[in-house]
Structure 1
Amino acid sequence: MLNSKRFIVIAGNIGSGKTTLTQLLAERYRWEPHYEVVAENPYLADFYENMPRWSLQLQVFFLSKRFQAHQKIVYGPSSAIQDRSIYEDAHIFARALYESGKMEKRDYENYYELYSTMTQLLPPPDLVVYMRRSVPCLQQRIAQRGRDYEKNIPDSYLDHLNVCYDEWIEKYQIGKVLTVQADTLDLKNRKEDFDYVCSRLEQSLEQPELFSVC
């Protein structure tokens, strides 16, 4: 099962542990990791100063980089694991910006049309692993990692993202999904927790059914 080429996506909210899981899985299975490029976005500072003005540019940059990474994985020779997917850009973050009034309707519609055109050209991943955590757990983890630009994220925003994630996962029809209820898991410090996720991941890849939930 793990000898053939695989494309795995790790999805999840801010502070969900997706980057940690990406790194650990890449090391265990010798998959090529593809991480987010948040700090490289040239619109980030402008976006935080004026979100409605720069939200479209910010999201188009992320969309472009995620599209490039997805293509590289699909057409590359090696198994790979991606920290956040192109699908999350549209169904979670752009949607949340639009619904909260931080992206104009015409910008959102233009963005979503571009996203739809791009994703029609992309074969889906073999498996999406959704790291789901409650808002209190997310806030605790965000505080522990101590990033300045994250310290004032309100509960309402994380809750909004969780709602978007849950609805996206429920409607996801193009491949397998493994949902990990992760509030009680410490993947970095408890080997048994990581082994549990690995076991469920391997089961999900082996089974013929479309969806897998734990």
Structure 2
Amino acid sequence: MERVPFIAIEGPIGVGKTSLAKAISAYFSFELLKEIVDENPFLGKFYTNKEEWSFQTEMFFLCNRYKQLEDLKQHRQPAVADYHIFKSLIFARRTLKTDEFEKFSKIYDILTADMPQPNVIIYLHASLETLLKRIEIRGRAFEKNMQETYLQKLSADYGRFMSRFEAEHPNIPVLKFDCDTLDFIRHEHDLKSMLQEIALTLQKGVHTHGTS
């Protein structure tokens, strides 16, 4: 049976996940699952006081990711998401207290037990300098309080997690793009080469509906 394409894009804050997801959605005519960020009522408070607001922040994100993926499961359309739900654990492990993380993990396991799983992962990574520049350019007010050390540790968390993910899921292709050398937002040729690599990966084992 041919698998319905489902691409998930991951990487640290500011690396360009949403921009690439929009480009992929337009190019392949895939449904776009876009993470709700600005609507999270706890996020601004989180960046000023992580200890106080981290659990509420992570639960809001987890529930919204769950709802989007539940909707996707109902109609099985080719889709691209600017997140993988596993990011909930990456952030929660970094921000929650031990007892809070244990509670969060139990809820995560219940919600994701029968989730639709991406069959292609795109991992975007970049240096701290590049991430900070891109965060500054997009100008989200609540991100002005983000500490550089938090972003640096989060990037390292992603690197470790992706290495473990590849080892545990050898049948799911992971495409890695270095966003220090690739600027697909400003340079059309960078985006084109990335889309071509994604198309080749899809053609190897996932049925697509063609490109626009």
With normalisation by structure 2, the TM-score equals: 0.86
What CA distance in whole angstroms lies between the structure 2 residues aligned with 1:136 and 1:107? 32
Q: 3-state DSSP class of the match of 1:39?
A: coil
What CA distance in whole angstroms lies between the structure 1 residues aligned with 2:36 and 2:198? 25
Gaps of 5+ in 2: 206-212
Task: Give the drift of 1:66.
Answer: 0.5
Q: 3-state DSSP class of the match of 1:180?
A: strand
Task: Give the drift of 1:110.
Answer: 0.7
State the partner residue of 1:83.
Answer: 82
Task: Give the drift of 1:45.
Answer: 4.0
What CA distance in whole angstroms lies between the structure 1 residues aligned with 2:21 and 2:30? 9
* TM-superposition CA deviations, 1:72-119 (whole Å, max 9, x none): 2233242111111211111x211111xxxxx22111111012112222
Distance 1:45 1:147, change over 3 A: closer
Higher relative contact order (CA 8 A, sep 6+): 2
Task: Give the drift of 1:162.
Answer: 0.9
State the partner residue of 2:157.
Answer: 164
Stretch deviating more after TM superposition (140-149 or 12-21):
140-149
What CA distance in whole angstroms lies between the structure 1 residues aligned with 2:99 and 2:30? 39
Cα RMSD between the aligned structures?
1.9
AA of the residue aligned to 2:78:
S
State the partner residue of 2:146.
Answer: 153
Stretch deviating more after TM superposition (174-183 or 157-166):
174-183
Structure 2 residue 51 is matched with structure 1 residue 58: no
AA of the residue aligned to 2:140:
R
Gaps of 5+ in 1: 98-102, 209-214
Q: 3-state DSSP class of the match of 1:129?
A: strand
Q: For 1:180-195, list aligned pairs within 5 A.
A: 180-195=177-192
What CA distance in whole angstroms lies between the structure 2 residues aligned with 1:75 and 1:170? 31
What CA distance in whole angstroms lies between the structure 1 residues aligned with 2:187 and 2:7? 22
Task: Give the drift of 1:144.
Answer: 1.7
Q: 3-state DSSP class of the match of 2:38?
A: helix
Counterpart among 106, 114, 125 of residue 113 in structure 1: 106
Q: 3-state DSSP class of the match of 2:81?
A: strand
With normalisation by structure 1, the TM-score equals: 0.85
**Total equivalences in the alignment:** 200
State the partner residue of 1:37.
Answer: 36
State the partner residue of 1:11.
Answer: 10
State the partner residue of 1:140.
Answer: 133
How much identity, in percent, do the aligned residues show? 31
State the partner residue of 1:104.
Answer: 97
AA of the residue aligned to 1:54:
W
